[in-house]
Structure 1
Amino acid sequence: MTENDILTTALDQWKSAVDAHDPKRVATGFTEDAIFQGLHPYSVGPDSVAEYYDSQPLGLTADYSVLQTRRLADDLVLGYLSVDFGFTDRPTLTVYLSVILRRTGETWLISHYQVSRLPDHS
């Protein structure tokens, strides 16, 4: 699989779970020692990922596009993405997301997730 294939397979599962507001399913896409940085203070592990997504509003959706990929090692892939988080009651929030996926057996899981917002200079 190419780096892009690896990323889209894992992130399509993440998106599906986010869109379904299924925090426990979101968390299954993360390693046990995953470092997770959403728009709140960072946390570690899938339980904290589930807690974060459980606190998100119903109707939240995520649409992403892969901007860059790098193969860091045979079992590590870096992805840099743009993500539009859609809401039912406010404007879409565009963020940038860096992830590192680690192969665990035959599965690629997110071991690092960091969101950043760039200032609007318009």
Structure 2
Amino acid sequence: MTSTPDTEAILRDVLDRWKAAVDAHEPDQVAVRFTDDAIFQGLHPYSVGRQGVAAYYAAQPLGMTAQYRVLETRQLADDLILGYQSVMFGFIDRPPLTVNLSLLLRRLADGWYIAHYQVTLLP
């Protein structure tokens, strides 16, 4: 398992697209960043697949934004990258919320997608 500038660049590309869709409140575009069978664990009960991801982000308040900081990356296999990030979600009407986010990215024929998304709320 290694961390290289290439693995971080791949992770940032996926996260930048995810962030753009989150910031624009486009739940279907957020879901497109995930595999069809992605396991998704936000701050509500988990779901599997893009429909659950879209529903989760559709329920988020308008004006919510995401800022992330990559903490660690690991290339687990040729087609699998682990990412560990700190993410601050900003809101219009309340203080920001900072979480840790673990991702597994899987390379498919047409690019990299999120196959597993796990949020941990920090005290």
Common topology (TM > 0.5) = yes
Partner SS, residue 8 of structure 1: helix
Deviation digits for residues 18-68 of structure 1, max 9, x if unmatched? 000000000000001100000001000001000000000000000001000
Structure 2: 5+ residue stretches without partners: none
- Equivalent positions of 1:99-114 (< 5 A) are 99-114=103-118
The normalised TM-score by structure 1 is: 0.96
Match of 1:48 among 43, 52, 60: 52
Name the counterpart of 1:2: 6
Partner SS, residue 65 of structure 1: strand
Structure 1: 5+ residue stretches without partners: none
C-alpha RMSD of matched pairs (Å): 0.8
Name the counterpart of 1:88: 92
Q: Percent identity?
A: 64
Partner SS, residue 97 of structure 1: strand
Shift of the alpha carbon at 1:118?
A: 1.8
Partner SS, residue 45 of structure 2: coil
Aligned residues: 119
Name the counterpart of 1:14: 18
